[in-house]
Amino acid sequence: MGFFRGIVIRYRLIILRSSNKSFFINIAIIFEDSIMNDTLKKAILQWDVDSWMPALNFWEQTICWAEIHKACEIGARQGGLSLWLAQKNIHTICSDLFDAQKTAAPLHTEYGVRSWIQYEDLNATALPYENAFDLIVFKSILGGIGKNNQFEQQQLVMDQIYKALKPGGKLLFAENLAASLMHQKLRQLFVQWGNRWRYIQLSEMHKLLQCFDHYTLHTTGFMAALGRTEMQRSYLAQADTIFINKLCPKGWHYIAYGVAEKAL
């Protein structure tokens, strides 16, 4: 995506530089800002950024952030979503099964948000909280938790999240789907954990969310999963967004995202 923006901006620079110097300066600043924003987006989403970005955009637009005071990221890895929340001045628990602080703290230190974050090693199937959080967020955790075909463990995670949310609390979820038969076969052949993870069918995602009182679910992504590098995935994600997502059945998409809510 940054590549395409760079082309457009350089073209405008060539046209405008000769006619108005101030326009040249302003557009150059916009170009620098776009690079900074891409860097931050990668820090937050980690991989396949342009395919997961619709989830982040949807959450940004859907949540009334003034009502969110305490949050928790589950399965945080490098803590990208905790960074995103902390930058909104939300007190956030950044959690993972092991070594949450060791793994995630360097990123939060780099962005100067450590004061908003505490770290806990938590098992998502046994959260030690009840009615505690305004918001819980996760990205791509259910497949690993359900490895070796343990759907009941995936359901247990959702039940635990519901328990840990305050009345009126929100779950922001983004999860890998099983997608098409092509995706499933290619994972088995080329993804190290492809045979162990339990990727969720779209119908199963609806079932997992039934413990909530209300939810909104969207899907995205088809071709970008075939990219072998982040640059390839970025280009293919643009094609998905422009037309491929519209042509494919939702059950063929490989990302589900949305918001689920616990009743007041």
Cβ contacts of 15 within 8 Å, gap of 6 or more: none
| Contact (CB, 8 A) for 68 and 134 | yes
| Per-residue confidence band for 24, with pLDDT thresholds at 50, 70 and 90 | very low
What pLDDT does 18 receive?
A: 37
What pLDDT does 193 receive?
A: 83
Q: Which tokens hold the place of 254?
A: 């490989």
Share of the chain above pLDDT 90, in %: 82
| Per-residue confidence band for 40, with pLDDT thresholds at 50, 70 and 90 | very high
The structure's pTM equals 0.86
Question: What are the b/e assignments for 155-183, b being 16+ CB within 10 Å?
Answer: bbbbebbbebbbeebbbbbbbbbbbbeeb
Is residue 46 over pLDDT 50? yes
